[in-house]
């Protein structure tokens, strides 16, 4: 009797094991099949349900979610990186650093348009940047006045992303050379004032037509004097993809000296037209200081106005 019961228990265990071995893979396989069937019924097979449930899935929330996600987002290319052919026309949609292997050159020609010296002084410059990687670039450039070649500046720098396409770190070594001639005896002297500019370029896209930019330059470490503080802030307004208005301002505090009269508040207003994604043209109005110092400090009406000193700059940018 005991032997028969033991044999029965063994047969039951063998049967249960065999059943589990056969049923388990079938269960897993059917679970994936159910997902496929569900997807097919809801997205592909509109006639599967009498009440049209499949059509509702096709016309319902899925597409609406995708459309809503695309409304405020820039177009994304394969891999999320722009190439020469897909580089955005819109200034707002462009990344902070240029893509690996791409190069960009910028030519500028400027003139003084102040009230009493308009179109008497000219300056020119060329700058470029090259994509070392998709999130880092090399920058360099030179500029000079065209009258007496008394002001010359050269720079080389690096910019790399801290958070891709939102905030970068930028450092440039600059070498300004100024030549002055004494009005008393006609003697000349040359001043060389090297320094390193530190910045954290930032771009935040609020809308496809509006973005904040800031901190391309934050401070300057001067080799021959105390550091300067020079934070910047700006906006890009893009009514149509081919046209942008760029406003930038900031404050410069020489030697971190916050005494009154030691502040400079420059402002630049640029209008940029982009006929193709490889070319920009535009002009820029600049005012060196929105709060010029009063020569005698008495606050009289003859104190200079910020618009008494102004410049106009023409520029062209080419990507290749």
List pLDDT tens digits, range 217-249: 999 999 999 999 999 999 999 999 999 999 999
Helix (H, G, I), strand (E, B) or coil at 24: helix
Quote the pLDDT of residue 291.
Answer: 79
Quote the pLDDT of residue 237.
Answer: 98
Residue 95 reports pLDDT greater than 50: yes
Q: Are 306 and 287 in contact (CB under 8 A)?
A: yes
Kindly report the number of other CB atoms within 10 A of residue 63's CB atom: 11
Closest CA to 228 of 176, 280, 274: 176
Residue 16 reports pLDDT greater than 80: no
Task: State how far the Cα of 80 lies from the Cα of 135, in Å rounded to an integer.
Answer: 12
Quote the pLDDT of residue 77.
Answer: 46
Highest mean pLDDT among 29-38, 142-151, 297-306: 142-151
Token reading at 214: 């800031």
Token reading at 275: 């006929």
Q: Are 249 and 266 in contact (CB under 8 A)?
A: yes
Higher pLDDT, 188 or 23: 188
Residue 201 reports pLDDT greater than 50: yes
CA torsion sign for 16, 21, 23, 24 is positive
Lowest mean pLDDT among 18-32, 69-83, 90-104, 252-266: 18-32
78-319 CATH: 2.40.160.40
Highest mean pLDDT among 34-48, 58-72, 214-228: 214-228
Percent residues over pLDDT 90 in the chain = 56
Higher pLDDT, 67 or 116: 116
- Whether the model clears a pTM of 0.75, i.e. scores above it, the answer is no
Confidence of residue 299 (pLDDT cuts 50, 70, 90): low
For β-strands 202-207 and 136-145, DSSP reports them as: unpaired
Residue 62 reports pLDDT greater than 70: no
Quote the pLDDT of residue 58.
Answer: 47
Q: Are 105 and 318 in contact (CB under 8 A)?
A: yes
**CB hemisphere CA count around 185 (13 angstroms):** 3
101 Cβ contact partners less than 8 Å away, ≥ 6 residues apart = 131
311 Cβ contact partners less than 8 Å away, ≥ 6 residues apart = 110, 111, 112, 113, 114, 285, 286, 288
Quote the pLDDT of residue 162.
Answer: 95
Residue 27 reports pLDDT greater than 70: no
Q: Are 92 and 238 in contact (CB under 8 A)?
A: yes
Quote the pLDDT of residue 24.
Answer: 43
Domain spans of the chain?
2-71, 78-319
What's the whole-number mean pLDDT along residues 70-90? 67
Helix (H, G, I), strand (E, B) or coil at 259: coil
For β-strands 279-287 and 252-253, DSSP reports them as: unpaired
């Amino acid at each position: 009797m005991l032997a028969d019961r033991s044999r029965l228990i063994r047969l039951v265990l063998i049967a249960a094991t065999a059943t589990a071995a056969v049923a388990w893979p079938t269960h897993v396989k059917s679970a994936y099949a159910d997902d496929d069937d569900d997807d097919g019924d809801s997205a592909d097979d509109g006639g599967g349900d009498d009440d049209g449930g499949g059509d509702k899935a096709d016309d319902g929330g899925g597409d609406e979610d995708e459309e809503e996600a695309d409304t405020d987002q820039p177009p994304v290319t394969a891999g999320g990186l722009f190439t020469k052919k897909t580089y955005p026309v819109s200034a707002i949609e462009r990344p902070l650093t240029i893509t690996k292997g791409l190069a960009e050159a910028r030519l500028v020609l400027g003139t003084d348009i102040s009230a009493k010296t308009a179109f008497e002084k000219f300056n020119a410059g060329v700058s470029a940047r090259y994509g070392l990687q998709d999130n880092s670039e090399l920058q360099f450039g030179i500029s000079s006045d065209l009258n007496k070649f008394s002001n010359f500046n050269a720079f080389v720098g690096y910019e790399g992303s801290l958070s891709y396409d939102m905030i970068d770190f930028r450092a440039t070594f600059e070498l300004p050379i100024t030549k002055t001639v004494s009005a008393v005896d006609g003697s000349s002297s040359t001043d060389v004032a090297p320094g390193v500019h530190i910045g954290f370029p930032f771009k935040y896209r609020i809308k496809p037509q509006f973005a904040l930019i800031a901190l391309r330059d934050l401070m300057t470490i001067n080799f021959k004097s105390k550091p300067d503080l020079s934070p910047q802030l700006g906006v890009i307004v893009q009514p149509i993809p081919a046209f942008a208005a760029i406003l930038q301002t900031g404050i410069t505090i020489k030697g971190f000296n916050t005494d009154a009269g030691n502040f400079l508040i420059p402002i630049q207003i640029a209008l940029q037209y982009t006929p193709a994604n490889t070319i920009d043209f535009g002009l820029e109005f600049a005012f060196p200081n929105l709060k010029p110092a009063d020569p005698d400090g008495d606050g009289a009406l003859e104190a200079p106005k910020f618009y008494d000193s102004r410049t106009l700059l023409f520029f062209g940018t080419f990507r290749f």
